[in-house]
Amino acid sequence: MSTPWGKTQAAPVMPCSLQDVMSEQLATELQHQEEKESLNAGETRTFQEILAAASENSAETTDDWLLAQMLQQEFDREHDQALKIEEKKFNGNNKVSISFENYRAVHPAYRDDEEEDEEVDQDEMENRKSAWDSPSPKFNKSGVSGKGKNITTKHDAVICGRRNASKIMDFGPEFHSGDGEGIDMKLSNKVYNRLKMHSLSETKRSQRLHEKKEFSTSEHVLDPRTKLLLYKMVNNETLESVGGSISSGKESVIYHAYGGSKEGVLLSHECAIKIYKTTLNEFKNRGAYVDGDHRFSRDEFKKNNPRKVIRIWGEKETANLNRMKKFGIPCPAVQVLNKHVLVMSFIGKDQIPAPKLKNAHLSVEDLEDAYEQVVKIMDTMQNKCALVHGDLSEYNLLWFEDKVWVIDVSQSVELTHPKAMEFLFRDCYNVCKFFKKAGVHNVKEPEQLFNQITGLNIKGKGAEFAAQVQRYDKERSAELLAHQITMKEYAFDYYFEKSQQDRLLEEQEEEGEDLGEVLEERNDPFEYFYEKSLQDKADRGEEAENSSENEEDDDDEVIEEELKNADERTMDRIKLG
Ligand code: ADP
Ligand code: MG
């Protein structure tokens, strides 16, 4: 039989049973036989040899089959190159990339790309063994090697020293260990341990920096839906302009803005816009905060799609801030909530946000004052607002005009939350730790502060105390369940309804007055609209609620189109970044 690979003797095909065909032994035998035959044939060349031969006398190739093969391979190579470019374009800088490997046409064996280089590098590395790699004696189970006078233990200072010196080469690449090659370097355990600690912290620091960089580049890019929301708010003069980014965190980004007016009511001159982010991961982590908060029950959480779910954070933060404001806690005043975009008053001045307690560098007197304020805030939150912050620390407390301001309450929970007391103890712990470390005298122990705020008398300290707090949470939740407390009896509804009644009374008293004036008298104009919209929603009932859910989002194309046609002057007033 003639093929471009040479001539082979066509062996008569003998019928055989399926069992034989499946037999591995038979397969091996057949292969051996085939190889022997092809060797005998003497003319057999590998594909590469054929190509090499072809390129030697490339002036003319008469073998059509070979030509076809060569053309095909050239074509395949081009195809793969195009595919590689496509793959690069598709993946961009994404962390998770998709490989088009399976669509490549050239067999891996015939690829002449980077993998070979890697192998070379590997070989080079193998050859580059240093003095440290000189074999150390083999120790038996009890860590001893040699006999009599020549006995060495695995704790031998020289061996340990060498081993330590060699191990520093395994530290992170950012760790400059110097070039100890060729020197019989030894490091004592003490020095090694210190270097190791340093290396670990360096690695962590560089990771953090890296993460920050990744974040700051990706975070500033808002999705078109959010951009359009901001655009509309500027276009309808709710906001005068949107300025630069204040913060970019895992769960939200914050921008500065100058307020306009909504329905005739002026917004704060300076505003902070909090945009909740729409990835699923955070929901998973934060589910615990919503779980058990009847206002935003888990069922709602589950059945909603991510875009709707993210709004819950805005609604939660809004409700919590409003309630805190009502009881006089210094916190941002909610101005407008639009889907997952919350506009609140800005704590700070001239676009400079107030510092967090962590960075405020207060004098000891101011710190002492701040501590008293925080304790008072915690007490009011607990005993008046019936809320637990849940993430209270020097990071979420700002210092502005000699006052402590509380922010970031989207995760704050009702006292009826099954883990409310656990969260409260954690808050106490963080607050006490910060002020104590900062040098404030008379800072209470977290356990003491917890008992003072709650009026409970839980005994013990540290982990034991925490365990008792958890037990308390559990028993109380069980009790609540046993009494089958209905939604209406929860604190939120109580306060909500009460505020509605107060408003009605207030409005009756103010009857005849201009609506604009009435609203201006309220220090929190948003609340009126927000609660009114909630009430309206409730009045309209389930059906209306569903349809309003559907009113919902425009699809992506419409959004892109609207953005494309956006007014340029309005766009100029939005400067993210
Ligand atoms: P996150 O959930 O990302 O921690 P925060 O609400 O804590 O969100 O806001 C992040 C940062 O943005 C805060 O630490 C603070 O510096 C700044 N910030 C948030 N809200 C305001 C505001 N109303 N006024 C001024 N700065 C704010
Ligand atoms: Mg925060």
Q: What is the pLDDT of residues 277-307, one digit of tens each?
A: 854 444 445 555 555 665 655 455 545 567 7
Q: Which of the following is catalytic: 156, 293, 391, 408?
A: 391
Question: Ligand 2: distance of its center to the CA of 278 in Å?
Answer: 17
What ligand has the least distance to the C-alpha of 254?
1
Confidence check: pLDDT of 326 > 90: yes
Q: Is the CB of 255 under 6 A from ligand 1?
A: no
Task: Give 115's pLDDT tier (boundaries 50, 70, 90).
Answer: very low
Yes or no: say if 210 and 203 are a contact pair by the CB < 8 Å rule: no
Report which listed range, 279-293, 337-351, 529-543, 549-563, is most confident. 337-351
Q: Is the CB of 431 under 6 A from ligand 1?
A: no
- What is the reported pLDDT for 235? 96
Confidence check: pLDDT of 526 > 90: no
Q: What is the mean pLDDT of residues 544-569?
A: 72
Mutate which of 216, 246, 318, 341 for ligand 1 pocket (most atoms within 8 A of beta carbon): 246
Question: Ligand 1: distance of its center to the CA of 228 in Å?
Answer: 22
- What is the reported pLDDT for 122? 45
Task: Give 480's pLDDT tier (boundaries 50, 70, 90).
Answer: confident
350 is annotated as an active-site residue: no
- What is the reported pLDDT for 332? 98
Confidence check: pLDDT of 394 > 50: yes
User: Buried b vs exposed e over 82-121: b needs ≥16 C-beta within 10 Å?
Assistant: eeeeebeeeeeeeeeeeeeeeebebeeeeeeeeeeeeeee
Mutate which of 251, 274, 405 for ligand 1 pocket (most atoms within 8 A of beta carbon): 274
- What is the reported pLDDT for 213? 43
Q: Is the CB of 292 under 6 A from ligand 1?
A: no
Confidence check: pLDDT of 119 > 60: no
- What is the reported pLDDT for 285? 52
Q: Is the CB of 271 under 6 A from ligand 1?
A: no
Confidence check: pLDDT of 467 > 90: yes
Return the CA Rg of the chain: 36
Task: Give 219's pLDDT tier (boundaries 50, 70, 90).
Answer: very low
Question: Ligand 2: distance of its center to the CA of 179 in Å?
Answer: 44
Confidence check: pLDDT of 429 > 90: yes
Q: Is the CB of 360 under 6 A from ligand 1?
A: no
Yes or no: say if 50 and 4 are a contact pair by the CB < 8 Å rule: yes
Q: Give the number of the atom of ligand 1 that is nearest the alpha carbon of residue 248.
A: 3
User: Buried b vs exposed e over 180-214: b needs ≥16 C-beta within 10 Å?
Assistant: beeeebbbeeeebeebbeebeeeeeeeeeeeeeee
Residue nearest ligand 1's atom 11 by CA = 247
Q: What is the mean pLDDT of residues 206-225?
A: 57
Confidence check: pLDDT of 183 > 60: yes
Confidence check: pLDDT of 546 > 90: no
Report which listed range, 76-85, 150-159, 170-179, 329-338, is most confident. 329-338
- What is the reported pLDDT for 549? 44
Q: Which residues surround ligand 2, an ion (CB under 5 A)?
A: 396, 408
- What is the reported pLDDT for 21? 57
Q: What is the mean pLDDT of residues 200-225?
A: 59
- What is the reported pLDDT for 18? 62
Q: What percent of the chain lies above the pLDDT cut of 70?
A: 57
Confidence check: pLDDT of 147 > 70: no
Q: Is the CB of 332 under 6 A from ligand 1?
A: yes
Q: What is the mean pLDDT of residues 1-30?
A: 62
Task: Give 522's pLDDT tier (boundaries 50, 70, 90).
Answer: very low
Question: Ligand 1: distance of its center to the CA of 568 in Å?
Answer: 29
Mean per-residue pLDDT of the chain: 75
Number of neighbouring beta carbons within 10 Å of residue 135: 5
Yes or no: say if 261 and 529 are a contact pair by the CB < 8 Å rule: no
pTM above 0.75, yes or no: no
User: Using CA atoms, how far apart are residues 224 and 232, in angstroms rounded to an integer?
Assistant: 12
- What is the reported pLDDT for 487? 46
Confidence check: pLDDT of 97 > 60: yes
pLDDT, tens only, 488-502: 445 555 555 555 566
Mutate which of 320, 344, 392, 408 for ligand 1 pocket (most atoms within 8 A of beta carbon): 408
Q: What percent of the chain lies above the pLDDT cut of 90?
A: 38
Q: What is the mean pLDDT of residues 299-322?
A: 78
Question: Ligand 1: distance of its center to the CA of 554 in Å?
Answer: 29
Any bridge partners for residue 274, and if so which? 254, 342
Question: Ligand 2: distance of its center to the CA of 408 in Å?
Answer: 5
pLDDT, tens only, 45-65: 555 555 565 555 544 555 676
Q: Is the CB of 324 under 6 A from ligand 1?
A: no
Phi and psi angles of residue 335, each rounded to the nearest 5 degrees, phi first: -105, -55
- What is the reported pLDDT for 158? 73
Cβ neighbours of residue 348 closer than 8 Å, sequence gap 6 or more: 270, 354, 398, 400
Confidence check: pLDDT of 218 > 80: no
Q: What is the mean pLDDT of residues 525-537?
A: 48
- For residue 566, CA distances in Å to 82, 126, 233, 379, 577 come to 37, 61, 12, 48, 19
Mutate which of 212, 358, 398, 404 for ligand 1 pocket (most atoms within 8 A of beta carbon): 398
Task: Give 125's pLDDT tier (boundaries 50, 70, 90).
Answer: very low
